[in-house]
Amino acid sequence: MQSAEQIKDSVRQKYSEIALQDKTENQSSCCGSGGCSTEVYNIMTDEYASVAGYNPDADLGLGCGLPTEFARIKKGDTVIDLGSGAGNDCFVARHETGEEGRVIGIDFTPAMIEKARENAEKLGYTNVEFHLGDIEQMPVSDATADVVVSNCVLNLVPDKRAVFSEIFRVLKPVGGHFSISDIVLVGELPEKLRNDAEMYAGCVAGAIQRDEYLNAITSSGFENLAIQKEKAITIPRDILERYLEAPDVERVLSGALGIFSITVYAEKPAACCATTCCS
C-alpha cells in the first residue's frame, strides 16, 4: 500500500509528463501519459469546443465533466479551480466572471503552472492567476471565493476530506458554493487496481465509493447537496486484463462494479453570529 506522499509523487511525475504532450496523446491513453490501452479511451466524453471561453491550447483532454457549466458563476465572482492543469476550466470560468471577476487556478505540478501561465499571457488575461500549491492546503486566504470548481482531480488526492474542509474554508460564507466533476465507485474496487500507481495517476484507482464521497461533503458542513450529472464510465477489457484476474474482469464488465463520473454541487451555509446571520 502506497503512502499519501508516494501517491502524490507518482501523480506529480505523471502530470509533469502530460504537460509536455498534446491532447491527442492524452486522449488515447487512460493514464494520460504513456499507452494504457490498444483502444482509444478517454473518460472525458463531454465536449468543450462549443463552450464559451474555451481555449484549445489549454485543453489537455483530462477531464470527466463540465463543472463550469453547472457552477452558477456570475459576473464579478471570484472562482477557484482545483487542479487547474493548463488552465482550461479557468478560462471558461473567466468568460463567466467577466473582466471584473477573478479566477485562481491551483495545481501542484510546476510544469502545469508554467503551461497555464503561458496560455493566460497569450490570451492577455490579467484577472486569471495560477498558484503552485497542494489543494489539501490551499495557498488562499479564508472566505476568498464565491465559487470553487474542479474537474476530475479529487479522485487523485489521498485525503479527500481535507480537500472538502479546505473548500469550505476558502468559500465565502454568503453564497459560496462549489461544482465538482469527479470519479466515484459503486461496489468494491479490486485491490490490484486500487493500489496501482499508474492508475492512480490517470483513471479511477484513487476514486472512493459514491456514498463515502457524498458523506465527506456533508460532514464538512456543506448543505443543499445535489448530483447535477451522472454517467457510467466503461474501462476497456484490455486495461482490466492488465490488472485483474478473469473473474474480476467479468465482474466489472457485467456492471457488478460500477465506475461513474458525477458532477456534484453543494453550498456553504451562511455564517451566523449569535442569533443573527452575518451579511
Q: How many CB atoms within 10 Å of residue 70? A: 18
Q: Which residue has the cell 466524453?
A: 45
Q: Looking at residue 172, what is its pLDDT?
A: 97
Residues 45-79: tens digit of each pLDDT: 566 777 888 888 888 777 888 999 999 999 999 99
Nearest one of 231, 230, 216 to 266, comparing CA atoms:
216
Q: Looking at residue 56, what is its pLDDT?
A: 84
- Name the pTM for this structure: 0.81
Q: Looking at residue 57, what is its pLDDT?
A: 84
Residue 230: DSSP 8-state: E
Q: Looking at residue 6, what is its pLDDT?
A: 60
Q: Looking at residue 51, what is its pLDDT?
A: 86
Q: Looking at residue 226, what is its pLDDT?
A: 98
Which residues partner with 254 through β-bridges?
Answer: none
How many angstroms separate the CA atoms of 167 and 21, rounded?
30
Q: Looking at residue 233, what is its pLDDT?
A: 76
Q: Which residue has the cell 474555451?
A: 54
Ranges of residues in the chain whose predicted pLDDT is under 50: 27-44, 197-198, 200-201, 272-279
Q: Delineate the domains of the chain, giving CATH numbers in brackets.
A: 4-25+55-182+209-230+263-268 (3.40.50.150)
Q: Looking at residue 67, what is its pLDDT?
A: 95
